Amino acid sequence: MKRFYVTTPIYYVNDEPHLGHAYTTVLADVLARYHRLFGDETLFLTGTDEHGQKVQQAADKRNVSPQQHCDELSPRFAEVWRRLEISNDFYIRTTMPEHQKVVCAILMDLWERDEIYAKEYEGWYDVGEERFCTEKELVDGKSPAGNEVIKLREKNYFFKMSKYQQRLIDHINANPDFIVPKKRANEILGFLKQPLGDLCISRPKTRMSWGITLPFDEEYVTYVWFDALLNYFSSLSFGYDDDKSGDFWPADLHLIGKDILTTHAVYWPTMLMAANMALPKTILAHGWWLFGEEKMSKSKGNVVKPLDTMDLYGRDVLRYFLMREMTPGQDSSFSQDLIVERNNGELANDLGNGLNRVTKLIEKHFEGKLPEGGDYGDPERELRKLAEEVAGRVREEIRDYHPNGAITEVRRLSGAVNRYLEGKAPWRAIKQEGGREAAGSTLFHAAEALRWVGVMLHPVMPEKCAGLLQRLGQPEPTDFDSLLTWPLLKGGDPVESGDPLFPRYDLESE
Ligand code: MSP
CA of 9 relative to ligand 1 center, distance in Å? 7
> How far apart are the CA of 61 and the centre of ligand 1, in A?
24
Q: Which of 288, 297, 298, 404 is nearest to 346 (CA)?
A: 404
Residues 95-113: what's their mean pLDDT? Answer: 98
Expressed in angstroms and rounded, the spacing between residue 46 Cα and the centre of ligand 1 is 12
Atom of ligand 1 nearest to the CA of 9: 5
Contacts of 23 (CB under 8 A, 6+ apart): 286, 289, 322, 326
CA of 48 from ligand 1 middle (Å) equals 11
Q: How many CB atoms within 10 Å of residue 45?
A: 25
CA distances from 280 to 63, 136, 254, 283, 508 (A): 40, 32, 7, 7, 47
Instruction: Quote the distance between the C-alpha of residue 85 and its chain's center.
Output: 12
Backbone φ and ψ for 87, nearest 5 degrees, come out as -105, 40
To the nearest 10 degrees (0 to 180), the angle between helices 19-37 and 66-83 is 60
Does residue 310 carry a pLDDT above 90?
Answer: no
From the CA of 288, give the closest atom in ligand 1: 27
Q: What is the pLDDT of residues 437-468, one digit of tens each?
A: 999 999 999 999 999 999 999 999 999 999 99
The residue whose CA has the least distance to atom 13 of ligand 1 is 11
Dump strand ranges (E) for 274-400. 282-286, 289-291, 294-295, 332-333
- In this prediction, residue 336 has a pLDDT band, given cuts at 50, 70 and 90, of confident
Q: Helix (H, G, I), strand (E, B), or coil: what is residue 440?
A: helix
Q: What is the pLDDT of residues 45-76, one digit of tens each?
A: 999 999 998 999 999 999 999 999 999 999 99
CB–CB of 75/36 below 8 Å? no
Closest CA to ligand 1's atom 23 = 20
What confidence tens digit (pLDDT) does each residue in 362-378 have?
Answer: 999 999 999 999 989 99
Distance (Å) from CA 129 to ligand 1 centroid: 14
Lowest-pLDDT choice from 143-152, 169-178, 231-240: 143-152
pLDDT of residue 352: 96
CA dist 41 and 208 (Å) reads 41
- Cis peptide bond prior to 459, omega within 30° of 0: no
Does position 394 have pLDDT exceeding 90, yes or no? yes
Specify whether the CB–CB gap between 223 and 263 falls below 8 A: no
% the chain with pLDDT above 90: 85
CA 91 to ligand 1 centroid distance, Å: 16
SS3 39: coil
Task: Tell me the CA distances in angstroms from 299 to 15, 55, 225, 296, 303, one per residue in order.
Answer: 11, 16, 21, 9, 9
* Backbone dihedral region for residue 85 (phi beyond 0: left; psi -120 to 50: alpha; all else: beta): left
Give the atom of ligand 1 at the shortest distance from the alpha carbon of 255: 17
CA distance 408 to 398: 12
- pLDDT at 445 (0 to 100): 98
Side-chain half-sphere exposure of 408, counting CA atoms within 13 A: 11
Q: How far is the CA of 210 from the centre of ligand 1 (A)?
A: 21
The amino acid sitting at 409 is E
Which residue's CA lies nearest to atom 7 of ligand 1? 11
**8 A C-beta contact, residue 48 and residue 88:** no
Q: Whose CA is nearest to atom 9 of ligand 1?
A: 11
Reported confidence tier of residue 238, pLDDT bands at 50, 70, 90: very high
Overall average pLDDT of the 260-269 stretch:
97
Checking if the pLDDT of 510 tops 70, the result is no
Return the pLDDT at 509. Answer: 45
What percent of the chain has pLDDT above 70? 98
Closest CA to 328 of 24, 18, 7: 24
Q: What is the phi/psi pair of residue 85, to 5°?
A: 65, 35
Query: Quick one: pLDDT at residue 296?
Result: 66
Distance CA 24, CA 10 (A): 10
Round the average pLDDT of the chain to a whole number and report it: 94
**Residues in contact with ligand 1 (CB, 6 Å cut-off):** 9-12, 15, 20-21, 23-24, 49, 228-229, 231, 256-257, 259-260, 288-289, 295-297
- CA dist list (Å): 53 to 61, 93, 207: 12, 16, 9
Cα 182 to Cα 92, 114, 169, 195, 256: the distances in Å are 30, 34, 14, 22, 15
HSE, side-chain direction, 13 A CA sphere, residue 163: 15
| pTM of the predicted model as reported, rounded to 2 decimal places | 0.94
Query: Where residue 132 falls among pLDDT bands split at 50, 70, 90?
Result: confident
Atom 10 of ligand 1, residue of closest alpha carbon = 11
Distance 487 CA to ligand 1 centre (A): 44
Contact 424, 444 (CB under 8 A): no
Compute the distance from residue 261 Cα to the ligand 1 centre, in Å.
10
Ligand 1: which atom is nearest the Cα of residue 21?
15
Distances (CA, A) of 167 to 196, 273, 278, 374: 12, 9, 13, 63
Per-residue pLDDT of 278-306, as tens digits, reads 999 999 999 998 877 677 676 777 777 77
- Mutational pocket test of ligand 1: of 8, 21, 305, the residue with most ligand atoms within 8 Å of the beta carbon: 21
SS3 283: strand
